[in-house]
Amino acid sequence: MRRASSVAIGASVLVASIVVGILVGPVHISPSDVLRWAVSFGGATSVSDQDAAILANLRLPRVVVAALVGASLSASGAAYQAVFRNPLADPYLLGAAAGAGLGATISVAFGPSDAFAVTVPLAAFTGAIGGVGLAYSLGRSALGGRSATSLVLGGIAVASFLTAVQTFIQQQRSETLRQVYSWILGRLGTAGWDDVRIALPSVLLAVATLWTVRRLLDVIEVGDLEAESLGLNVGRLRTIVVVAASLATAAAVSVAGLIGFVGIIVPHTVRLLSGTSYRHVLPLSVLFGASFVILVDVLARTVVAPAEIPIGVITAFVGAPFFLLALRRSAGRLT
């Protein structure tokens, strides 16, 4: 598929997903009301106050947060896969998820319970960045290298350690178990404009950075030595990409909890559509990733309505087979 047309398709799918995300919900609001509300920028007098409030304060922020989370996780997944030259690399590699989990647990266990809406995202964000920073410095110093492998191994070590600390705190404070648990499964049910404000700056900065360096991600495919011989500063590019992708992941995790596999499912699907060049994979991952999480969230809130399935459960359900597919496709290369 040519690039222009695939980007056009990606953009159309995103628009359609946003429309579906706003239209679907436990309270029926007619499409014409939604349209009138939208073209008047929320000021239409013919739409009831209650409907307008549902659209403005519940559905729209939820769709926006889902789009930000999907774009972040997919773009980070594609970027990690590029700089680690590993098709199974995921935004949760490198201790981001474990760090976020620890941060969230600490804020639930020790923080003021009336301010969870703000403290949990902030603590998760700090934890995610801290986890990646720790993995990165461990990979560079203790494991003595700037190579992809030493970073990944650093991430695994840090993740195990942080998860152990988190479990310890959870056991000490068993009354917080349920709250931490619901966060770990991923949730968009409480998404509001506060979450948009927390996530948006990081997501924009990170996605713009990854978008800008997408051509150079192709150069890394020939390995560090050859990329260096082509004049690329591989160490610096890898640092920039890891920082940007981790920032996006931290933002996503902090507002939505742990939603796994998006960073595997979306980039791999995009590669089937548009080929393997990151010039196409990265922009399309942003567009399709945003659409994917919006639509999965629609599923999460309709399948067993009025109850909701944790969105992380659905992505894991779809994602596990995808992981196997990616593993199969890369098996030839790994052996």
Partner 1 sequence: MTAGAASALRLHELAVRLGGRDVLRDVSLDVPMGSWTCVVGPNGAGKTTLLHACAGLVDRDGSVELFGRRIEEHRRRERARSVALVPQHPVIPEAMTVRRYVLLGRTPHVGPLGAEGRADVAAMDSALERLDLAWAADRRLDTLSGGELQRAVLARALAQESPLLLLDEPTTGLDLGHQVRVLELVDELRRQERLTVVSAMHDLTLAGRFSDRFVLLSGGRVVATGTRNEVLDAAVISEHFGASVQVIDEGDLGWAIVPSSRGSDHR
Residue 331 interacts with partner 1 (CB under 8 A)? Answer: no
Compare residues 79 and 219 and give the one whose CB is closer to partner 1: 219
Compare residues 231 and 306 and give the one whose CB is closer to partner 1: 231
Query: How many residues bind to partner 1 according to rule CB under 8 A?
Result: 23
Residue 333 interacts with partner 1 (CB under 8 A)? Answer: yes
| Per-residue contact flags (x/-) with partner 1 for residues 184 to 223, judged by CB under 8 A | ----------------------------xx-xx-xx-xxx
Provide the sign of the torsion angle of the four alpha carbons 69, 146, 149, 98, taken in this order: negative
CB of 248 to partner 1, least distance (A): 19
Compare residues 4 and 225 and give the one whose CB is closer to partner 1: 225
Query: Which of positions 215-274 make contact with partner 1 (CB under 8 A)?
Result: 215-216, 218-219, 221-223, 225-233, 271
* Tokens 């594609």, located at residue: 78
Residue 277 interacts with partner 1 (CB under 8 A)? Answer: yes
Compare residues 197 and 215 and give the one whose CB is closer to partner 1: 215
Contact 180, 108 (CB under 8 A): yes
CA distances (Å), 305 to each of 25, 53, 120, 281, in order?
9, 20, 26, 35
DSSP string covering 75-142, please? HHHHHHHHHTT-TT--TTGGGHHHHHHHHHHHHHHHS-GGGHHHHHHHHHHHHHHHHHHHHHHHHHHT
CA–CA distance, 173 with 24 (Å, rounded to integer): 38
CB of 249 to partner 1, least distance (A): 24
Contact 126, 103 (CB under 8 A): yes
The residues that touch partner 1, with contacts defined as CB under 8 A, are 212-213, 215-216, 218-219, 221-223, 225-233, 271, 275-277, 333
